């Protein structure tokens, strides 16, 4: 697949939970150090539990999908904090684009869509990335995130610990 790939980014609907479930299982299985969820735990969840992870469209929480020729090829979620003192913050989670779409701008467009959505619902957008994932870190930094800390040994997989970089993007409300 070349750089001319044409894709659409839109929210994933609960009715599309089976295709999102397959994509999520793929990302967790093929990239176990990129996500805090484990494939082995995820596959034990019921269809109803997986569908419940996809927010209803009416609220601020959303899972966006990258669609190519009707197939779900990537996704990223946004979740806003609920508590009164934390409701100004949201988090981007579960960012993944299939290898065939990497280098096409799809990941940049997906994360950009999450950022645009978050800007309407929060003042602060948080994200976490494996400190060794140089491509993802570079993308997030290009899009305005800055590192505010490192969580040492945040993930343990296959007998090895991985640090996670804590990222923040603050939206200017004074413009």
Domain ranges of the chain: 8-170
pLDDT digits over 135-153, tens only? 999 999 999 999 999 999 9
Alpha-carbon Rg for the chain, nearest whole angstrom, is 16
- What's the pLDDT band for 4 if we cut at 50, 70, 90? low
Question: How is domain 8-170 classified at the architecture level of CATH?
Answer: 3-Layer(aba) Sandwich (3.40)
Q: Hey, which residues does 165 pair with through a beta bridge?
A: 129, 150
pLDDT digits over 50-102, tens only? 999 999 887 899 999 999 999 999 999 999 999 999 999 999 999 999 999 99
Euclidean distance between CA atoms 13 and 72, whole angstroms = 12
Smallest CA-to-CA distance from 75 within 28, 130, 139 is with 28
């Amino acid at each position: 697949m070349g750089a001319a790939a044409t894709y659409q980014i839109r929210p994933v609907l609960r009715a599309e939970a089976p295709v999102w479930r397959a994509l999520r299982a793929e990302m967790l299985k093929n990239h176990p150090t990129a996500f805090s969820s484990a494939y082995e735990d995820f596959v034990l969840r019921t269809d109803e539990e997986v569908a419940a992870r996809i927010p209803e469209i009416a609220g601020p929480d959303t899972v966006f999908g990258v669609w190519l020729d009707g197939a779900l090829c990537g996704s990223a979620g946004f979740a806003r904090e609920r508590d009164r003192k934390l409701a100004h913050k949201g988090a981007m989670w579960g960012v993944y684009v299939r290898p065939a779409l990497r280098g096409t701008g799809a990941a940049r467009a997906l994360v950009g869509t999450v950022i645009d959505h978050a800007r309407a619902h929060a003042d602060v957008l948080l994200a976490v990335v494996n400190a060794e994932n140089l491509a993802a870190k570079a993308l997030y930094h290009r899009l305005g995130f800055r590192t505010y800390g490192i969580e040492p040994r945040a993930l343990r997989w296959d007998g090895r610990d991985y640090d996670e970089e804590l990222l923040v993007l603050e939206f200017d409300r004074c413009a």
